[in-house]
Amino acid sequence: MSENNSIEQGNEATTQATVERTVSEIQAEAAAKSTALVGGYMDLLDQLREQRELSPGEYRDDLPPDTRVNLLQKRKMEEASERREKTVSEYAALVEETHGELAARRERLEQTLFSVPSDEVLVRTALESDAELQALATTALQAGSASVGLARAVLNIAVQRGAGDILAAIFDAYPELESSYREWQALPPKEVMERQADPASLDAVVPKPDPERLKVRPRISN
């Protein structure tokens, strides 16, 4: 095997590994990044609150104390507002990236669970009664891997009908379908993802700086 082929296969393996991340892994990483983003912003607010003087050279020595305090407060609010705007932008990018990966994972899971040999098979399966659907499930189980397409068709309709006994039978014969189904169930509903991506929701995640929180507090001596 040539070196170039090895590199190409390595790149393909890396890409595949990225695609194959589970829903829980995707969400866990997104939660950790979100916490770090918002936490970093909140830490900055705490640091600004503790700042009691302007840096040397930011004011004339002859300015009254009240004026220096007002200038300090103004600078704190400006820095906090800039950091918040940056944090909201980075959070929006994180949501977009996470939703893109979840959408790709949803597509892969649905392909695994519900892809059927033809639309005709699905239509015919949908017309079956529950008893007939159970019989089809038994047929698929007896045929094994040769009838995984039929098993998926039965699974598709069983999910729509909430037929738990048929689902259990399918999963007993095809455990890999059950793990994919449980993961598919863990996907956030599309309406939830739409709310998360709404500009108002994104803006609400990062609180606006509170002037009162940033004010210099008098030191209390013992």
107 and 27 assigned to the same domain: yes
Provide the domain count of the chain. 2
Q: For residue 211, what are the contacts with CB-CB under 8 A and spacing of at least 6? A: 73, 77
Domain range for residue 143?
A: 115-173
Domain-located, residue 222: no
The 10 Å Cβ neighbour count of residue 221 is: 4
The pLDDT value recorded for residue 143 is: 62
89 and 199 assigned to the same domain: yes
Domain-located, residue 178: no
pTM for the full predicted model: 0.76
7-42 pLDDT per residue, tens: 444 555 444 444 579 999 999 999 999 999 999 999
168 and 193 assigned to the same domain: no
Contact between residue 34 and residue 94 where contact means Cβ atoms under 8 Å apart: yes
Contact between residue 119 and residue 158 where contact means Cβ atoms under 8 Å apart: no
Q: For residue 213, what are the contacts with CB-CB under 8 A and spacing of at least 6? A: 45, 49
The pLDDT value recorded for residue 33 is: 97
Domain-located, residue 160: yes
29 and 107 assigned to the same domain: yes
Domain-located, residue 69: yes
Mapped onto helix, strand or coil, the DSSP state of residue 127 is: coil
The pLDDT value recorded for residue 156 is: 83
Mapped onto helix, strand or coil, the DSSP state of residue 128 is: coil
Domain-located, residue 5: no
Domain-located, residue 147: yes
70 and 153 assigned to the same domain: no
Low-confidence ranges of the chain (pLDDT < 50): 1-9, 13-18, 146, 220-222
Looking up tokens 């909140």, which residue turns up? 42
30 and 54 assigned to the same domain: yes
The one-letter amino acid at 103: A
The pLDDT value recorded for residue 170 is: 85
Q: Give CA–CA dist 99/114, Å, rounded.
A: 21
Tell me the CA end-to-end span of the chain in Å, nearest whole number: 77
The pLDDT value recorded for residue 221 is: 45
The pLDDT value recorded for residue 220 is: 45
Q: How far is CA 44 from CA 55, 77, 79, 176, in A?
A: 17, 11, 9, 47
The one-letter amino acid at 199: P
Q: Give CA–CA dist 151/142, Å, rounded.
A: 11
104 and 129 assigned to the same domain: no
Question: Residue 150: what are its φ and ψ, rounded to 5°?
Answer: -65, -40
97 and 119 assigned to the same domain: no
103 and 198 assigned to the same domain: yes
The pLDDT value recorded for residue 151 is: 81
63 and 153 assigned to the same domain: no
Nearest CA-CA partner of 97 in 9, 37, 179: 37
140-169 pLDDT per residue, tens: 666 655 467 778 888 888 888 888 888 888
